[in-house]
Amino acid sequence: MRTFENHPCFNPEAKGKFGRVHLPVAPKCNVQCRFCNRKYDCVNESRPGVTSSLLSPGQALHYVTRLLDMGKPISVAGIAGPGDPFANPEETMETMRLLRRKLPDLLLCVSTNGLGIAPYIPELAEIGVSHVTITMSALDPEIGAQVYAWVRDGKNVYRGVEGAELMIHRQLEAIQLLKEHDLVVKVNSILIPGVNDHHMVEIAARCKAMGVDLHNIIPLCPVEGTPFADVEEPSGKMVNELREVCGKLVTQMTHCQRCRADACGLLCEGTTQETMNLLQEASNAPINPDEDRPYVAVATREGVLVNLHLGEAEEFQIYSHADGEFMLVDTRKSPPRGCGDVRWSTMARWLKDCRAILVSSAGPKPTDALQQEGIKVIVMEGLIDEALSAIYKGKEVKAPVRSFACGKGAGCGGDGGGCG
């Protein structure tokens, strides 16, 4: 078994010496828990599923490197959302690969609902991911049906007991595979009074039987806009009594901070403004900061404003930056319409030296295609020069988003479907 020594979540003696950083590279989720509302909120809100920025794998590496260069006592980098790491497997695995190659001494961990992790466990072990957390709040499908609103496996969505059965099966399968690959496993269980409080001992017993290293009973944090918003948060007495009973079966974590998906630093610290500034800086860097991509592409009608939908742009103006000045260096045709997804992969090739593209709107398919090739799609409306200034200074592009992308009013869905 690998050591707990320098992991502050697994070793309470390390929490004041070593810090962790959560990397928000996984926005999508494959499960809707009835206690979860993944609104991006202010820095003062500390709960899972919340982040102030999203990062690409390359930006995540850049961010961690900056933290370490500044002397932050970070011993472990993990991915805990804001969705689920394995609803975003490409981003999750690439982040782990980059971190292992560039920062070989860093501990790596992931926290997941367990639904989609199993196919990736062998590679996680090969990369050297040492700690994995599975959030498992029920073993009885009838109880699980009260916890999960729906479960999505590929293109299929399951609800009620059927969804809970699938979820529980995958979680137990994942724990078994993780232990077979000699990874340290923590199980998080969300304590929901009246739903699963009577069920915690059974979960702890199963954890013991499967060789789980640590069990973390997390009291429900009632969140506005969820079915459990009006459920009273478990009292300290209830939590402590359950931890005492369950602790006779499996070691209990008692210092959890219910961390955000972008938490950083020592567990005893809140998220600092300095850290949030670094995170924002990283999110505004090129998607792959180590690549030389000197240009920015712009969808514009007249060369002054960003005011064209990605799908309707027949050409893009290409800008560079030198000595504080922006220069129009090229005009490139857009691939012809009518060729489906091939259009977006072709566009990515034709713009491969661009770090970003400025458009008034873009659909999810072209956005994914371009961003997978390292081209950040920035949806905004406003002056080209102001947007370029922000991009080349590594700042957020602050400009109003258009309500309708193509000037077609309510007839435009804004998804590029009628423009490609």
**CB atoms inside a 10 Å sphere around CB 350:** 15
| Secondary element (H or E) of residue 179 | helix 160-180
Place of tokens 């920035």: 378
> Are 267 and 300 found together in one domain?
no
Tell me: pLDDT of 409 over 60.
Answer: no
* Lowest-confidence region among 188-197, 271-280, 367-376: 271-280
User: Is residue 377 within 8 Å of residue 367, measured between CB atoms?
Assistant: yes
- The amino acid at residue 270 is G
Assign residue 349 the CATH number of its domain. Answer: 3.30.420.130
pLDDT attached to residue 264: 82
* CA–CA dist 255, 269 (Å, integer): 13
Q: Which two tokens stand for residue 39?
A: 């609104």
The DSSP secondary-structure symbol of 252 reads B
pLDDT attached to residue 47: 57
> Are 269 and 343 found together in one domain?
no
Measured between alpha carbons, how far apart are the two ends of the chain, in Å? 53
CA distance to 23, 55, 360, per residue, from 61 (Å): 9, 9, 29
Q: Which two tokens stand for residue 226?
A: 């969820």
* CA–CA dist 366, 372 (Å, integer): 10
Domain boundary among the residues 226, 251, 283 is at 283
The model's pLDDT over 21-58, given as tens digits with 9 standing for 90+, comes to 899 999 999 999 988 876 644 444 455 656 778 888 99
Cis peptide, bond prior to residue 89, ω within 30 of zero = no
The model's pLDDT over 325-335, given as tens digits with 9 standing for 90+, comes to 889 999 999 99
> Are 198 and 149 found together in one domain?
yes
Q: Is residue 165, in this structure, part of any structural domain at all?
A: yes
pLDDT attached to residue 408: 38
CA distance to 1, 34, 223, 232, 235, per residue, from 229 (Å): 40, 9, 5, 8, 16
> Are 210 and 303 found together in one domain?
no
**CB atoms inside a 10 Å sphere around CB 137:** 29
Phi, psi (rounded to 5 degrees) for 150: -155, 160
Domain boundary among the residues 244, 260, 283 is at 283
- The amino acid at residue 81 is G
Q: Residue 283 — pLDDT band, cuts 50, 70, 90?
A: confident
Q: Is residue 25, in this structure, part of any structural domain at all?
A: yes
Q: Is residue 371, in this structure, part of any structural domain at all?
A: yes
**Cβ-Cβ contacts under 8 Å for 247 (sequence gap 6 or more):** none
pLDDT attached to residue 161: 96
> Are 341 and 266 found together in one domain?
no
Within the chain, how many helices (H) and strands (E) appear? 11, 17
> Are 227 and 305 found together in one domain?
no
Q: Is residue 290, in this structure, part of any structural domain at all?
A: no
pLDDT attached to residue 48: 63
Domain of 22 in residue numbering reads as: 12-283
> Are 227 and 331 found together in one domain?
no
